[in-house]
Amino acid sequence: MSAPTTESQSATTTVGLGMPHVPRVRHSREEIEAAAPVTGQKRVLLAAPRGYCAGVDRAVIAVEKALDHYGAPVYVRKEIVHNRHVVDSLSERGVVFVEELDEVPEGALTVFSAHGVSPAVVQDAERRNLRTIDATCPLVTKVHREAVRFSKQDKHILLIGHAGHEEVEGTYGEAPEHTTIVNDVEEARTVEVEDPDNLTWLSQTTLSVDETLEIVSVLRDRFPNLQDPPSDDICYATSNRQAAVKSISPEVDLMLVVGSANSSNSVRLKEVSLEYGAARAERVDFAHQVDESWFEGVATIGLSSGASVPEVLVQEVLDLLAEYGYGQVDEVVTAEEDIMFSLPKELRAELKKVGDTSRGLGGRKRD
């Protein structure tokens, strides 16, 4: 499995607006069907759950509320969530995305992204007198707490995840002296540890469930006394979206995943789809990136979206698919989700002072 950064490098010093989209000339439905006739009924299998998770919803609402309450500019360290559309929309409203805190003026309001930050970043913010709102997903915070607890027990942590991903940097930063990052199965086979009998493992929240199990199995073969974390770190949203994609993949000729190249869970959905039988899988940020030649000879298209993707982007893909004859859409529901998180406490307290008692719960907003 490749790390998310191998598909695209998204980091820029300051995240700006996307380039204007220049529509390209498309081949018509008739031309595509003439190129490769389709046998069977054209249809779309729409995976559910898909799209926004509770942690992403909460983080985006937190930034929107901060904009409404404090006014622009609101600074956000890193992309609030890994989605091009979300970042561009917030940029247009006055959010300034930065890579590091030294780009933020002294005393300015700064939001930490859903992926979490290391204690060093929090200390840096305090040194610079920044007013901060921590939009770290509570499920990422849970992993941070486990890292702290294990390090206090003087255990060594094998952190399964992609080095360089913001979430992994944040978790690693809780206990760098006690942590070794394991990127993949190959590293699980070769990682060296000081005391094989004093090990535990944690993971990034957005990994492939199957590959993580394989990595743990390799580690356990080598280190039989490896201790498990109290609960799974791969979050409910990642697991549910992968399960939904797995269920439809054997039937699809083409799987489309809406999500950005630096979105770990979106990239995983594409990989999982191929592993579970999709003849072809493609990831796009936007409907206009769908290449109609992918439809040649294709009867069944699967469609899903990563946990940071607003539903409006999926609808735009469905509209495009309908133009090419894929108007029959069957939603395949493999789980119901009702998880919600309340807004970051700093923001809740501030909003309460001005009579805004809406808790801005995340988890239900889809566009």
Binding-site positions: 53, 82, 115, 137, 165, 205, 235, 263-265, 308
- Distances, alpha carbon 241 to alpha carbons 43, 258, 298, in Å: 20, 12, 23
Angle at 300 between CA 297 and CA 306, to 5 degrees: 120
Residue 57: CB minimum distance to ligand SF4, A = 8
In whole angstroms, give the CA distance from residue 92 to residue 96: 9
Is 167 catalytic? The answer is yes
- Binding letters toward ligand SF4, positions 199-238, x by CB under 6 A: ------xx----------------------------x-xx
The answer to the question of residue 53 lying near ligand SF4 (CB under 6 A) is: yes
From candidates 1, 32, 46, 56, binder to ligand SF4 by CB under 6 A? 56
| Three-class secondary structure of residue 258 per DSSP | strand
Name residues contacting ligand SF4, limited to 70-109 (CB under 6 A): none
The answer to the question of residue 54 lying near ligand SF4 (CB under 6 A) is: yes
Pick from 125, 18, 64, 19: nearest CA to 362? 64
Binding residue numbers for [4Fe-4S] cluster: 53, 137, 235
- Binding letters toward ligand SF4, positions 294-333, x by CB under 6 A: -------------x--------------------------
In whole angstroms, give the CA distance from residue 246 to residue 250: 8
Q: Are 225 and 194 in contact (CB under 8 A)?
A: no
- How many Å from the N-terminal Cα to the C-terminal Cα in the chain? 31
Residue 321: CB minimum distance to ligand SF4, A = 26
Residue 139: CB minimum distance to ligand SF4, A = 4
The answer to the question of residue 363 lying near ligand SF4 (CB under 6 A) is: no
Pick from 347, 337, 287, 340: nearest CA to 317? 287
Among residues 79, 167, 174, 292, the one annotated as catalytic is 167
Residue 131, H or E segment: strand 131-134
Size of the site for ligand SF4 (CB under 6 A): 15
Residue 318, H or E segment: helix 311-323
Query: Which residues are catalytically annotated?
Result: 167
Give the interface with ligand SF4 as residue ranges (CB under 6 A).
Answer: 53-56, 114, 137, 139-140, 205-206, 235, 237-238, 265, 307
